Amino acid sequence: MSHVRQRRRAANDEDHPAPDLLECESYERSVDDGDRGAARNRNGRANDRDEGETKPFKRPPDPNNAPGEPCAIDRFLSAYVPFSSATFTADQGLKILQWSSWAVSYATRRSSRYADLSEGLRALYGEISFTRYVLRFYGLLSSLEGYRSGSWAGGTWDDPVIAKVAKYLMAGSMLVYYPLEHAAYAGWKMPSLARRVDANKMSAISCVFWTSYIVGDFWASFLKWKELRRKLGHLREVLAGRKKDDDKGALTDLPKEEHTMLSKIRHVKLQMLRCLLFILPAINWSLPNWATDPLLGEFPLNGLMLAEAYTSVYQSLRSMCG
């Protein structure tokens, strides 16, 4: 929506004893686009993503059920998503700790004075990545809920493309991504039980779907940005007209609506920035030879992930502060 994925290089790559890391913030999508109380508490993120509580989804009347009543699976998913959101929210702090540990370790790697510090933080960075990897076991059902309910669109929009992109490209991609990630994780952590699993290959394929998710997230966010800007322009025209008419009631309410609209626009712009920070790492980890001949070096790769981590925290804090 963005979790962290642990990526191991080939066993014979002694120059990189610590595993490479990949972050997947699928669950960290922006559901409320800046209005935390309006949508949900999904990892969502308010995404990280921040974010508030997911409103129970109400499906159209089903002839096989009572009018307006959701079916059993939708009632279960509506209850499950707020529960899992608490886990995803905690992940944001882990993400900052993880990439900050890497940054300090990388900066002190050539200093004999801080050799122990660098080594220790490098180990911590790897451990946290595995912890965040495990947290992604919550992702599959959250993706299924988003696909069935359309909640990943983050509300109702005039442009119907937004809902379609959120459902099919974003939630749909994650429905494939998570099982592949679990298979890769099993191959890395339980090789004796998953002998036939090529973990690196499964991980690369999963990242192809993560890349699709990021493209969809950017696309949907861009369309939301256009729509919000159009509505903001109309709102300002109405506000200017009411000022001429000296409508005191409107002069009280409309500025509040303008502030809310500006907050949503800021949130969506930050979401697009996060997608741009994610896209090159995603492509890097999608390549078949990502472990032996990566597209990006350690500094640009993890540097982008570090920048995204702090951008996501800023996005969340701004959403909470309004």
**Where are the extended beta strands (E) located within the chain?**
4-7, 20-23, 45-48, 50
| β-sheet bridge partners, residue 6 | 21
Determine how many CB atoms are found less than 10 A away from the CB of residue 15. 5
Q: Are 21 and 36 in contact (CB under 8 A)?
A: no
* Among candidate residues 144, 109, 132, the one with its CA nearest the CA of residue 17: 109
- For residue 124, with 0-12 CB atoms within 10 Å meaning exposed, 13-18 middle and 19 or more buried, which class applies? middle
| β-sheet bridge partners, residue 5 | 22
* Among candidate residues 278, 273, 319, 269, the one with its CA nearest the CA of residue 47: 319
| Angstrom distance (rounded) from CA 198 to CA 162 | 36
**For residue 18, what pLDDT is reported?**
36
- Tokens encoding 237: 């025209």
* Among candidate residues 273, 279, 277, 158, the one with its CA nearest the CA of residue 223: 158
**For residue 92, what pLDDT is reported?**
77
**For residue 82, what pLDDT is reported?**
65
**For residue 247, what pLDDT is reported?**
63
Rama region for 44: left / alpha / beta (φ>0; ψ in -120 to 50; rest): beta
* Among candidate residues 266, 242, 275, the one with its CA nearest the CA of residue 316: 266
Predicted model pTM: 0.75
In sequence order, the 6+-apart residues with CB closer than 8 A to the CB of 153 are 162, 163, 166, 167, 220
Q: How far is CA 103 from the centre of its chain?
A: 21
- DSSP 3-state assignment of 293? coil
Kindly write down the DSSP assignment for every residue of 98-159, as one continuous string: HHHHHHHHHHTTT-STTHHHHHHHHHHHHHHHHHHHHHGGGHHHHHHHHHHH-GGG-S--S-
**For residue 313, what pLDDT is reported?**
82
For 85-144, write each residue's pLDDT tens digit: 666 667 777 899 999 999 999 999 999 899 999 999 999 999 998 888 788 888 899 999
pLDDT mean by block of 10 residues, the chain; 322 residues: 44 39 41 37 34 42 58 78 64 88 95 92 92 85 94 94 97 96 90 90 96 98 97 87 66 79 94 97 96 94 95 83 68
- Tokens encoding 146: 């988003």
- Counting Cα atoms < 13 Å in the Cβ hemisphere of 103 gives 14
